[in-house]
Structure 1
Amino acid sequence: MTQRTYLDFDLLVEPASPGSYRARVLNSPVGETRPVPVTIPFSDLELENFLLRIGRPRRYPVRGQGEPEAAAVRDFGARLFDAVFHDQVHSALTASLDQAEGRDAGLRLRLRLTDSPELADLPWEYLYDSEARRHLALSEWSPVVRYLDLPGRIRPLPVRPPLRVLVLVASPTDFPPLDVDAEWDRLQHALRGLQDAGRVRLERAPAGTMAELQRLLRRGQHHVFHYIGHGRYDAELGDGQLAVEGPTGRAQPISGCDLGALLHDHRTLRLAVLNSCEGARGGRRDPYSGTAQSLVHQGIPAVVAMQFEITDRAAIAFTRGFYEAVADGYPLDAALAEARKTIRLQPNEVEWGTPVLYLRAPDGRVFDVADPPGDAGSAPAAGGAAGPRSPAATTTPQGGRPRRAAAPRARAQGKPAGGEGPDGTPPAAPRTPARSKPAGTGAAGPDRPPPSASPPPSASPPPSASPPPPPPPPPAEVPPPAEPAPSTPGARPSRRLLLAVAAVVLLVGLVGGTVLLLDRQGPSGGPAGSTQPAPTASAPPGPAETTAPGPPPPVPGVPQPAVGAEIPVGETPGYVVATPSGRQLYVAQREAHQIAVVDVGLDTVTGRIEVPEGPPQFVAFSPDGRTAYLSLYDEDRPDGVFAVLDTRTQEVVATVPLDGRPWAPAVTHDGTRVYVPVEGPDVVAVVDTGTHEVRTRIPVDPLPHSIELTPDGARGYLADHTSNVVSVIDTATDTVVRTVPVDAGPHRVAVHPDRPLVAAVNYDADRLTVIDTGTDTVVTSIPVGDGPQDVTWSADGHFAYVTNVEADTLSVVAAHDWSVTTTLPVGDAPTSVAVLPDGSRGYVTNLNDGTLRVLHLSG
């Protein structure tokens, strides 16, 4: 994937006095300029004659530069260029192009015509530099865009292919007929190669009505809206109109303002392409009065529209060239330049100037697209200007700013740093995801707190749902055999000491001491505070009834935990989880294809489990702790593997191939099923732990990243990263019953141990959202640090711990008033946090420095 870096050249053309204008450079590599006078070299009649003249090639092909229409385009573009780019403005352009070339960057020419909307009728896309003998807009190194100033920040949307395109084709019966099926076939034909490669997905509305458009927008997440049909500019209305189909099949005019209001609420929709007449035409007094301009004003960051009629052949070439470049991660303005060249290479010396790009994203990037499947080693899609912001995970590109977490990995491999995957973003941790957000790896998810003994009434399952049976009494956890200690000097405990520790643990079990098997991931273990003791190692599991005392309550957390020692664990520790007994930690090390085993009594790595099947991204345990379930995937591959690890033999005993990348899973309380979010096909795969087969696949919104189950096991809460929602799954029917809108970039979720609450970290919004599971509504949204990637509750439920991967900090949030009680520096790129079942300590993975940071949570 080609990477492009751009410098900006902002040119303002504004009124100087009635009938005259002036131009000045607001921003460029060489600074600003003083204004220069501008005299438009065409009368309205000359402009009309020019447009009629270049309309001839739409009916009769133009084959060479010697044709009069091609010459007319060059002459028009040269006169317009000379009228504006002279004196200091021309000098600034020349010097800026030189500087950009010296930095191996492009120069983005941003035309600001807001103060002179009457000049927007001029086809600025034909600007021609006679000295350089080239049209500026035909080069991806000097794209021309029409920049509209509006308040509000535009962040790139992390997208992992496919790019989802929603197509509305309208042919009202009272308008000249359109061969809509042929239009659709042409669009599919133009994009067939991209669809087959999994880079673009087309969805056509069954009818060309606003009702169908609204229904599809409500039911799915889309990135691009593509309209095919009639359109016009209504001077009396002061807005453009599209002729969609009404209930009877006759035309129903829809204004750009009304269409924009409908599209406004769909935050993943970042681009509109209007293949209609006069879609780019606007009023001479209001800069936002056209269809395209109205959509931008309503919040669509980028709109491509046609300023003239366009032939079928040119439209097909444009569609193919444009979407291919967007899917390759090009900024929209550079992608449009590629599309212009595709039209011109037909050859077609005229129609390449028909498309117009209206843009309000400052760097031209509204998507951060992950590398397409199989493009291992290709450049990140972030493209120089404003890279994607993705969590430090290991896979999917997604985010807005490039992940610093990816730098260490780049250094270790001798490759340039900064290519993210991605959460974003994408996503991936050391390999910064391209704002498709991280895909599972570096995005270490929070270890979940133990479930409560008795769920509150509001969290009870609906009448139609039959909750799973209570878990059987777990057998005593069998500690895995000690592995060779790491070779880190000073970190290796003596073999005698390890044997002594093992003997003490075994003795406690034989004497009848109970071991509480609590799963940090909530749903997997027995309820916190349960009176069921674990059976001793010498006896098989018995009935649930017992008179043995239950485990002591967890120690209370404090508002300001103490930061403890660093534990060296090795490269790229992306995710940490405590075993159900709380005696060990499993740390997923993606790059090393290993899981480091940490003894929490020694705070030292005591073993390493090799995982040759793939880079381990996430780990979850069965309730009895004898089985670990691993999410494995390589960020250079589109697919992954769900693996089953026997913790006694430390060997993978089964694998389940998946057609996407598995993220943070959740195990049911009875241990019979595992819910695995799978990015790519965007499903939750439900795996049977007895047969190790996928029972069913639950379709969900794009980029599912993390799921946790409620204490009663009746519901699952799923973070859908790029869809900005948390999906609610009924585990009795394995269906999505609703979605809860949250802040941008929900990355991980954590179910509260005893209150009807779910916390979700929002990577793109830098906030923590809290949801009431009784009403499935947002209770509050709290600002935390930069790039929150993981959240875990304290064992007593009084605090939430949030790792901020870009800020290198951990935020502590009090559950009684939702205040941030403290922010602690914990290391370089903290990706996940685990809390021991007794609540005494927490452990944070620091992706870039290869360490675990100990937190003393009880003071």
Structure 2
Amino acid sequence: MRAYLDLDLALVSDRGGAVQARVTSSPAGVAEAAFELPVTPMELARFLVATGPARTPARGISLSPSPVDLQDIGGRLNDAIFAGDIRACFQRSLALAEQQGKGLRIRLNLSGAPDLAGVPWEYLYSHALSRFLTLSTDTPLVRFLDTPARSTPSGLDPPLRVLVMISSPSDAAQLDVQREAELLRTTTADLTAAGSLELVFLDSATLTGLQHAIYQRFHVFHFIGHGGFDRAAGTGVLVLEREDGTSHLVSAAKLGTLLHDAKSCQLAVLNACEGAQTSGQDVFSGVGQTLVRQGLPAVVAMQSEISDRAAVAFSHEFYYVLASGRSVEEAVVEARKAIYLTYEDSEWGTPVLLRSAAEEQPFLLTRPAALPTRDQHWAAMRAAAQEAAAAGSDRVAVPLLQQLVAENPDDDGATALLARVQTDARADASHDPAQRVRPDGRADAPVQPGPQPRDQASRPAPPAPPAPFPPVGPRTPRPDPRRRRRLTTAVVLTVALGFAGVGGYAVWRSVQPTDSASGASPSVEQAYVVTACGEEAELPDPSPDLVSIPCALQAPVMDGDMSDWGDVPAWHASETVYANPEDAGAADFASAWYLVWTRDFLFVHVEVLDPVPTPVDPYSPSAFWEGDGVSFEFGSDPRALADTERLRPDDLHVLLGVTAERVLTAANAPGGRGTFEAAIGDLGVDTGLQFTEQGYLIEAAFPWSTLNVASPPARGDVFGMNLNASNARLNGPTAPTDLARMVSSNPIRTSAEQNLPGLWHTAVLAGPSA
């Protein structure tokens, strides 16, 4: 087992939001330096998508990640956290560790700056060392929690015993439980055959089943399934199953209570497999942190979904190293290397290691387990792949064969079998227009027949026909669109307390003590509203150039049921800004928007009049605006901008594309030419969709961070915004769609004016009634 010296590095945020980086302990002493996050929220979101698999989150549509410069982002993060005196301290500590023949373990403590937990620190790149820190056992990175140590066994007898739970409740996005179990089983078949590993799969993913099984001296709890974060309770959750098969949201605290007393259990591995529903990118960190605080020595959590092939590489190498008697730090590093060396994508940084302050190392085996040779490993993978292929289980065979060929390119038999299986899978999918096969040979979740991707750069920019279009519902008279360039609908927001957002407040107020003279309780009411919306602020004067977005004291739920939106006033995005000359079928097309906000989210609800919906192409997220759906431009306060100023770094073009079953989200960001360019294929936000006889209804909850708003907003904050809706025309059953018509709240919103934020609307965050 590799011996380590520790460099304890903490990030601490003060009340004003400034962050300090502090080395609290190291071989070279202590140090301190100011820290400033060197990347924007959008860059982080784009990075996490690009370093993950082709995404199939809760929405079930695969979107290939865009390439990303790992060294650039990793280098910026490294230079920011190892700055000034801290850089010198790190260099001296590393030299001292090398002199003693030891590694330098970086123990990163984020307890003082929890907002930075979602940063992918596992990709730190040192230009001085010319390598990623976490790809070497010399410099492993541990997310460290300073918690009381619990007593652990002095040694564990091999084999390494792993309790596996795969949870797929009937009312959640479905996982192929049999396939997930088969992949893990076949990946580690050589280890189980050698007697170094024992996998035990729970028959039922219930809390009671786990309680009964966990005390049978298992060393590892390995969970595959759905996870999330309960914002109201402030804790991470795992989605287990009830006895009837439905979802059971189990808090990390409750799970930790079980694992705390299972002293032989030294580690939890939390894997949101591809297809598992998660809440945001940092999938299981909240769960992992809670488990460590409850006394579990170590947790390995995936900070995003992980693909089949990456899981194959990770699982085998991770358990191989643990069974050899080495540390969890070394096991995670070697598992990352297995992905890095044999996998063309960049998922190696997905695993996150969380450790407690326990002095004892987990997995101190009383003796090394018997380990298979590399040839035995390849033989076991080949046999499992052949068996899966013969049984028609291509989604098991393909990742096994891909990893086998990557590890052993001389295996001509595996190469030939992989080519045949992939060819057969594509042929099968070609007979089913509701299914596609990705380049890696895996079939995606069923989607509606749609167009093939096209190069966005080859599309001509749409002209701007000025003909006005009837709105959805009533609206106020509007001035000439070329003279009133921003807001085209005069809106006076008188938000009734009966709508769902403020309805909760009305109910709350009804049970509060009131002032006998005025019938109100001002101090209590004011405190309630200030907590939800911030202090009162001076708002811009109402005018046709201003849109006010009311604060919601009770947020709507993104479940496809639009009844909780109540009486929010509508914004009419119905001005035709583009019409295809060949289109004659878009006359019945318009949209109405409803917006509310909280300190955490911007909520969007859109009613679209479109009797003939046409699904977007899920493989072209940056071009969702060409299919049926809605979009909006969004950026910081534009009031001081000249009309000719180009896009700013934080501006976004947010897209919501409609399929037959769900809403897909994407965003385009400013490029080098000052125009919006393809950026990120899935924002991971919660959405809802409902079809009607006249069209469809969309709702979405955008965390402010996905809109490049770094801190929670408050009343009086001003942004730039346009509201748009698109209608597509399908050129035959197999041809790509064309944009038939685009309507907007801004009558001059064309492809040119889109890139000039000084011409956007001005939007202000208001109180619950404004």
Q: TM-score, normalising length from structure 2?
A: 0.45
Q: Which has the higher relative contact order, 1 or 2, with Cα contacts under 8 A spaced 6 or more apart? A: 2
Considering fraction of residues, name the structure with more helix.
2
Which entry has the higher C-alpha Rg, 1 or 2? 1
